[in-house]
Structures are given as C-alpha cells and as structure tokens.
Amino acid sequence: MKEELIKNKIRLIKDFPKEGVIYKDITLLLKDPITFRMIMNKFYERYKNIDIDMIVGIDSRGFIIGGALANMMGKGFVPARKKGKLPHEKISVHYNYEYSDATLEIHKDGINAGEKILIIDDQLATGGTCLAAINLVKKLGGDIVECAFIINVESLGGKKRINKEGHDVYSIVNLDK
C-alpha cells in the first residue's frame, strides 16, 4: 500500500525540539525519489482540476512541496515565512502552536483579492501555524480552496480547529501521535 510506504519514510524523533514532542521528520521521504514523486503525484491528482490561482507554502517544508506542486500545476507560489525573513512590505500574524509561539508573515503583494489559494505544509499538528497562514491569506482578500498536508497528526486536533473555521483539510497520511 502506498500510504504505508510513505509512513515508513517518516522518521519519528522523540523529545525534539523539546521534551514531550514527537517530531515527524520527512527528510527520508524527500530523499527517496519514489516516495517524493508519490506524494507530489497525489497532490497533483487531487488539485489538477480545481480552480487554484496561487499556492501558499508554509515555512519551511511547505516551500519544498508547495514550490514543486506550483511548478507541476503551472501556478504561482507565495511563501508564508517566519518573522524577519521577508525583505519587502509584509503583513504579520502572531500565533501559538504545539510547543511555542511565533509570527508568520507574507508579502502584501503576494496575493490579490479574490484569488483562489491552496495552503500547503508538510504536517498538521495543533493547527496554529496553518490558522495563521489562513488569517494572512484572508487579510489580503484571498479565498482559501483547501489546506493540504503530507501528515495529519489526528490526536493534536488541528484538522478539527481548521474545519471549525470553515476550511477543508486534506492529508495524504494520518498519524495517531
């Protein structure tokens, strides 16, 4: 089964970046051209016939899969970056996530009002980072088509939080913790 092959390439690292957190490392998945192609093809097949203007990738692994998918689909790509990484005029949202808090930023000219946006990242945990990206897109007038992830960590409730805000979530694999 393809999902099992993908799951087997996700390395679980206990107590990183802090005690009690189980980090889901996708570098083995990306390193293997077969599994990387599998995840990109799954995303492509899901979104190829959906009206999307732009893909927003969340810092930093969302840049890898979001950029690759934007290229495959012939769409533009906009990075949602951690504070202090964007050089031009930007908007910011401060948020909490699984083990800390942070600020996410996007260029003011990254999205035009009315554009249909796909938000993408490697994993969904508590949903804090994705909700920050949603808020940034909405501030710029973008319409969110869906939020997509390789991994959904079901036990942390991020999918429910995003659904509660009225947005759909797609993930390739689901993990319990």
Domain residue limits, the chain: 50-175
Residue 16 structure tokens: 């990183």
- Which residues belong to the active site? 61, 98
Has residue 8 got a pLDDT over 70?
Answer: yes
pLDDT of residue 1: 59
**Between β-strands 76-82 and 54-58, what pairing exists: parallel, antiparallel or unpaired?**
parallel
Relative to beta strand 22-25, strand 116-124 is unpaired
Mean pLDDT computed over 105-114? 98
pLDDT tens string 34-87: 999 999 999 999 999 999 999 999 999 999 999 999 999 999 999 999 999 999
Question: For the chain, what is the mean pLDDT?
Answer: 95
DSSP letter for each residue of the chain:
-HHHHHHHT-EEEET-SSTT-EEEE-HHHHHSHHHHHHHHHHHHHHHTTS--SEEEEETTHHHHHHHHHHHHHT-EEEEEEETT---SSEEEEEEEETTEEEEEEEETTSS-TT-EEEEEEEEESSSHHHHHHHHHHHHTT-EEEEEEEEEEEGGG-HHHHHHHTT--EEEEEEE--
List, in order, residues 6 or more apart from 28 with CB less than 8 Å away: 9, 10, 11
What's the pLDDT at 150?
98
Quick check: 15 pLDDT over 80?
yes
CATH class of residue range 50-175: alpha beta
pLDDT interval class at 137 (50, 70, 90): very high
Query: Nearest Cα to 123, choosing from 35, 58, 73?
Result: 58
Distance, C-alpha 57 to centroid of its chain: 6
pLDDT (average), residues 152-162:
96
Q: Please give the pLDDT value at position 99.
A: 74
Bridge pairing between strands 54-58 and 22-25: unpaired
Question: Which pLDDT score, from 0 to 100, does residue 21 have?
Answer: 87
pLDDT band at 97 (very low <50, low <70, confident <90, very high): confident
Phi, psi of 154 (to 5 degrees): -55, -40
